[in-house]
Amino acid sequence: MPMKSAIKSFSSIAALALIAGGSWYGWQMLQSDSLSKSLSNSVAYGNGRIEATEYDIATKLPGRLVDVFVQEGDMVAANQSLAVIDTDDLNAQLREANAGLREANLSREYAVAIVEQHQSELAFAKTELERSLQLEKSGNIPKEKVDQQRTVLASATAALKAANVNVVLSDAGIEAAQARIQRLQHNIDDSTLKAPIDGRVLYRLTEPGEVLGSGGKVLTVLDLTDVYMSIYLPTSEAGRVTIGSEARIILDAIPQYTLPAKVTFVSAQAQFTPKSVETRNERDKLMFRIKVKIDSTLLKDHVEQVKTGVPGLAYVLLNPQAEWPEQLQVRVPE
């Protein structure tokens, strides 16, 4: 085929595709406008984008990143290991702490043995004093000898008290050693970074070999069962919206479905709408932010298909006694 003919044919195909795409978009806009005009004053609506709660997977302690087990886009399960930080230094400290605990236990055993020794000495001192007192009554022992026995008894009592204090100190040393072991073990466990929820990896921010500080972010995980859309409504409509109000979401990517949702947040303070709102008239108004959350059961059934950033429209039922129009009846994927 000659070059000019090929270019002409390609241009014709591109033009047809552009016309077809424009026709589809125009039909979508007409459908949306038709729905908007058919709504009663019992339903408010606004445009927005699908968002999901994000969890930053970060280090608790500084260290070198040894490995990352997941890639961006991977689905992860709650408590799944995602990455690991080097623990050689922590393991050495743990061995040292275990040795300290063994030493503390031996010190306590020694302290208990000293207590038993002083208990025997105290018992003997009491017996000697009682015998001396009996001899003193019969005049067979001088008073000075009795005083000496009283001094021995007092010394034995004080020595026993000191020995008991050493046992208490030994117990405190054991408790401190156990606490240090527990802390180090927790730090070692926390060096394996785990997923807090079922979700999808959104970002992989670091690579093995990098040295991270405390709180260094490694991954970002999306909770695909906590998906919502934020819209902005004027005062006249926002004042009629309450937490728990029924809502519907229609996404541009799947307009054939109407997703069930509920209002989970209503801003208490008016604000300017964001720049993403198309018309200048809307931007000039003070609006209230409304958060509409998609039914979590539906999301769990289709978690693999959930995408964020998709634009669409959210509809909120302002009158709980009103019925949804036919166009907004729930239609969900099989």
Q: What is the CATH number of the domain that holds 136?
A: 1.10.287.620
Range in 151-155, 166-170, 261-265, 284-288 the model is least confident about? 284-288
Encode pLDDT of 203-244 as tens digits: 999 999 999 999 999 999 999 989 999 999 988 888 899 999
Q: Reply yes or no on whether the pLDDT at 260 is more than 80.
A: yes
Is residue 224 included in any domain, yes or no? no
Is residue 31 included in any domain, yes or no? no
Mean per-residue pLDDT of the chain: 84
Range in 54-58, 140-144, 193-197, 315-319 the model is least confident about? 140-144
Q: How far is CA 145 from CA 121, 134, 141, 323, in A?
A: 18, 12, 7, 106
Looking at per-residue confidence, does 60 or 146 come out higher?
60
Structural domain of 126: 88-190
Is residue 97 included in any domain, yes or no? yes
User: What average pLDDT does the segment 132-149 reach?
Assistant: 78
The span from the CA of 86 to the CA of 131, in Å, is 70
The span from the CA of 292 to the CA of 45, in Å, is 11
pTM above 0.75, yes or no: no
Is residue 179 included in any domain, yes or no? yes
Are the C-beta atoms of residues 227 and 308 closer than 8 Å to each other?
yes
At residue 25 the predicted structure's pLDDT band, cuts being 50, 70 and 90, is: very low
The span from the CA of 258 to the CA of 304, in Å, is 18
Cα separation of the two ends of the chain: 47
Token representation of residue 151: 């001094």
Among 222, 210, 182, residue whose Cα is nearest residue 84? 210
Are the C-beta atoms of residues 191 and 87 closer than 8 Å to each other?
yes
Are the C-beta atoms of residues 56 and 217 closer than 8 Å to each other?
yes
Token representation of residue 10: 């390609």
User: What average pLDDT does the segment 293-322 reach?
Assistant: 90
Is residue 173 included in any domain, yes or no? yes
Is residue 92 included in any domain, yes or no? yes
Is residue 166 included in any domain, yes or no? yes
pLDDT of residue 285: 64
The span from the CA of 68 to the CA of 53, in Å, is 22
Q: Reply yes or no on whether the pLDDT at 140 is more than 80.
A: no
Domain count, the chain: 1
Token representation of residue 68: 């990352």
